[in-house]
A and B are shown apart, each in its own frame.
Chain A
Amino acid sequence: MNAVTQKEKLTAKDFATDQEVRWCPGCGDYAILKAMQKAMADMGQSTEDNVFVSGIGCAARFPYYMATYGFHTIHGRAPAFATGIKLANPDLNVWVVGGDGDMLSIGANHLMHVLRRNVDLQVLLFNNEIYGLTKGQYSPTSREGTKSPSTPLGSVDRPIDACTYALGAGATFIARGIDSQQKHLPGIFQAASEHKGASFVEVLQNCIVYNDGVFNEFTDRDVAADRQVHVEAGKPLIYGADGNKGIRLNLKTLSLEEVVVGENGVTEADLLVHDPSNHTLAGMLAAMNGRDLPVALGVLYCSREDTYEAAVHDQINAAKSSAKITNFNDLLRTGHTWVAGG
């Protein structure tokens, strides 16, 4: 690193730029930005070693508002740019920011590959189930029947679930948060940053203009406690306004079910205990959508695997230390050569 003197710990404000933030008033992105700036300060991060890379969309304006390095690129391709950045300089802490349209439509291919390669960076997908910047068309996460300018009769596409997709692509870290939850979001970002490998974070984000209230069925104050479960490693999957609801595995159907502790002989011991290294459990948690079962929030999955950039650099270093030919003049003279003329 470049620091030669002990620097003062930065505050959340130090991560804000002098640029006027231009999201719609009430946009969930403001809260996410605030949470990120807080997370940066909490982690004791520097501004110079962090890079935010984004594609196109409302969410993709994020880098302009972080006083770090930033690269606003092209639609859907931020993971590919980020891969090049991380390979070129593994010391950088690289964040990828995009929306559901950006990363699950045009960029789904790159998202898949950055996750399966396990490049050590953080992918933040702000999911509002709608295209904001292009004015309200349905997105790959929009529910069937979504009425939009391009689907006046309702969409007939089947939606994709972001976390399930990430898990299928081989992500080694998957977390989910909600824009308005300032208590949880900075911690999720911090956990993602600390994870060695590709971290995937879905932030459920409200688009006040084109899809207002899309998550109300589990975010409204009067239902939130009963429709959200905040998962924590080693803790039972327990939630509810009265703190007595829980998630149990039904062994007959191999599916999760909601139970009430104290009813029908159910005790806390019957509930599933969260283990972020359990891939099967992560899949089941990711699929919970807040309707039949509560939506799962927090770190759903975390598994330690070798990172891509480390493997690439190991190969380069091994080649450097074992190569017989290490200068260009020798390289150009390998193989069959002959002297002519003279």
Chain B
Amino acid sequence: MTVATLQEAPPKRLELESAVVRFAGDSGDGMQLTGGQFTQATALAGNDLATFPDFPAEIRAPVGTTFGVSAFQINFGARDIRTSGDAFDCLVAMNPAALKVELKGLRPGGLLIIDTGSFNDRNLKKAGYDSNPLDDNALAAYQVVTIDISALTMEAVKDSGLSKKDALRCKNMWTLGYVYWLFGRDRTPTVEGLRAKFAKKPEIAEANIAALNAGHALGETSEVDFPGYHVPQAEIQPGLYRTVTGAEALAYGLAVGASLAEIPMFFGSYPITPASNLLHNLSRMKQFGVTTFQAEDEIAAACSAIGASYAGQLGVTSSSGPGVALKTEAIGLAIGVELPLIIVNVQRAGPSTGMPTKTEQSDLYQSVYGRNADSPVVVLAARSPGDCFEVAIEACRIATQFMTPVYLLSDGYIGNASEPWLIPDVDTYEHFPVKFHTETEGFHPFLRNPETLARAWAKPGTPGLEHRIGGIEKDYNSGHISYTPENHQKMTETRHQKIANVAKTIPDQDVEVGETSGKLAVVGWGSTFGPVSRAVQNLRDEGLDVSHIHIRHIWPLPSNLGELLSGYEKVLVPEMNTGQLLTVLRAEYLIPAKGLNKVAGQPFKIAEVEAAIRDELES
């Protein structure tokens, strides 16, 4: 544990309430690493923050091209930070391609840091520039800091004994050092981190540290037009924090959830962007009794998880939309045989392969409706990286208590982004132990709990409870195969009612920000939480009558939601799809809700949501 020691910022620095910084360079420039280090230093400095890693789909796109640009964005501030930020206050462009791709996101008057060492004819041409933007008026709207970072890095590490190529790889650390100076960050944790990371290659560690220090020193000593910035500490809930990505929090939440259910967890998965990180995280948690199985395909991943559930473990499978599509038949079986199963869907832009590294929320229909026949399931959605932990535990509770598959929707943005996380105390969570059926008297596999309608879970290996289950319709009273018309009607209705009963065990829908009635409710779900809540808060600060409702339980919906929504004159539903929750709300409650829809592979900007709210209030 590291306790932050905060230094008083020099008074000459300009004070900012919050700032958005975007590091952009070639895929090989180490921008994600740079951003990660800056995030850590920023967290230690006491700011609240949110990040957005934005990288290309190609493993290694050709060097210097616009489609090879990898970026890392961070929004940090003295206030509660809910998004990775709209326009950037500072853009670091490591090459012409990065400038070409990212400049449009920089606010007018924003700070632009450019490595002139990479602005040669070849790179300019690759980026599609006819003339050097540094030489014409193209950058007049910004504060431009041009530094030959490449050359200064070479100079800083010249005694390291590294090859030219390896030496040049340190330029991201040089840049980081400079940005550290810009925002008054402490280099110590980064230096320690580099020494630990390259413990076996000390010459590389020292070269990186030399570059980091050189970048910092340039900031301190150069007579530039601005003195650097100071972003004061945020008022955040006291406690022990760490940063967490959605994938990490999901892995922790699932494992903790299974432990609260007091059964082992089995995870069957198949690699797919952006869901693979969950597999990577869980495969490092074997000491907690987590079995991970990298299956031969998506279907086997789901089937193996269902097999494990049948045998008495908590089966979990994960994928992204196209992979979940393949799992669908197996999920239908899990619905029919009424076994617990958690299906994590880290949504991405589609259809089909779509844009694998870009985010979207367009698998809501797939989750709520996307199976053959009447096959109801539970659908939950996480709103932020840290929230994944809580939602995963909730998924484990519902899956085991109701003997049902549960979809857990995350998305590419939540999965990869990180945020400071107030570390929970696992010991304070309530257990919900599974009680396997052992009573042989009067047993059949579709005996139901009269309250929940969940069926009895009898583990193979239990004497006297031998039974056969399958996808073919079962008789309500005996569990044997049945084709009787009345029985199918009854079983279908029972499966439907069982899922409806879940709503009795979930909290009433609350209002995130604002009043429980009024002119306009903005209803969100999933990762739009940040921009929607910030936009609503901003406009409420202006005195507008608007409230924010954010839905975690997508299906079944909270029992009071219909009544709650009816208390508003208008309902606006921002989604990163063409109106999927919107359809559900209109269908369920017959309300004239409107959609605000963005399908660009990028999260909403606060300004976009604000504009839509104003339009809606004025219309």
Contact = CB atoms under 8 A, between A and B. Distances in A.
B291 A2 contact: no
A216 interface: no
Given A87-B304, A340-B239, A312 B291 contact: yes
Contacts of A51: 311, 460
B3 interface: yes
Interface string B266-291: 10100000000000000001111101
Contacts of A337: 1-2, 240-242, 423
Contacts of B333: 73-74
Contact of A69 (B315, B460, B480): B460
Given A88-B264, A109-B296, A338 B240 contact: yes
B297 interface: yes
A2 B241 contact: no
A48 B259 CA distance: 26
B310 A81 contact: yes
Contacts of B305: 84
Contacts of B465: 48
A316 interface: yes
B310 A85 contact: yes
B472 interface: yes
Contacts of A110: 296, 299-300, 303
Nearest to A341: B238
Nearest to A62: B468
Nearest to B299: A77
A interface residue count range (under 10 / 10 to 19 / 20 to 34 / 35 or more):
35 or more
A332 to B, nearest CB: 5
Contacts of B330: 74, 77
Interface in B460-508: 460-472, 480-481
Interface in A320-342: 320, 322-323, 325-329, 331-333, 335-342
Contact of A72 (B297, B301, B329, B471): B471
Contacts of B10: none
Given A84-B266, A319-B287, A333-B240, A46 B463 contact: yes
Interface string B171-213: 0000000000000000001000000000000000000000000
B287 to A, nearest CB: 3
A64 interface: yes
B142 interface: no
Nearest to A316: B286
Contacts of A48: 460-466
Contact of A329 (B238, B309, B310, B426): B426
B241 A88 contact: no
B243 interface: yes
A339 B2 CA distance: 8
Contacts of B584: none
B contact residues, range? 35 or more
B311 A84 contact: yes
Contacts of B344: none
Say whether chain A's binding surface is mostly helix, strand, loop, or mixed.
mixed
A63 interface: yes
Contacts of A81: 303-304, 306-307, 310
A53 interface: yes
A71 interface: yes
Contact of A87 (B299, B308, B470): B308
B311 A72 contact: no
B255 A63 contact: no
Interface in B221-250: 235-243
B576 interface: no
Secondary structure dominating the interface of B: mixed
Interface string A88-125: 11011000000000000000011011000000000000
B424 A332 contact: yes
A49 interface: yes
A3 interface: yes
Contacts of A82: 307
A87 to B, nearest CB: 6
A88 B471 contact: no
B425 interface: yes
Contact of A320 (B242, B287, B297, B470): B287
Given A88-B312, A328-B252, A70 B296 contact: no
B323 to A, nearest CB: 14
B235 to A, nearest CB: 7
B373 to A, nearest CB: 13
Interface stretch (B38-46, B346-354, B557-565): B38-46
Interface in B322-381: 329-330, 333, 337
Given A72-B471, A84-B311, A336-B243, A342 B460 contact: no
Interface string B450-461: 000000000111
B236 A3 contact: no
Nearest to B255: A328
B594 to A, nearest CB: 39
A88 B308 CA distance: 5
B311 A336 contact: no
B70 to A, nearest CB: 23
Given A92-B460, A110-B299, 5 more contacts: A3-B463, A69-B467, A84-B307, A336-B43, A341-B236
Interface of B: 1-4, 40, 43-44, 46, 189, 235-243, 252, 255-256, 259, 264, 266, 268, 285-289, 291, 293, 295-297, 299-301, 303-313, 315, 329-330, 333, 337, 420, 423-427, 459-472, 480-481
12 contacts: A69-B461, A74-B333, A74-B471, A83-B295, A84-B303, A84-B306, A89-B461, A326-B287, A328-B259, A336-B43, A338-B1, A339-B238
Interface of A: 1-3, 17, 19, 46-49, 51-54, 63-64, 66-74, 77, 79-85, 87-89, 91-92, 109-110, 112-113, 312, 315-316, 319-320, 322-323, 325-329, 331-333, 335-342
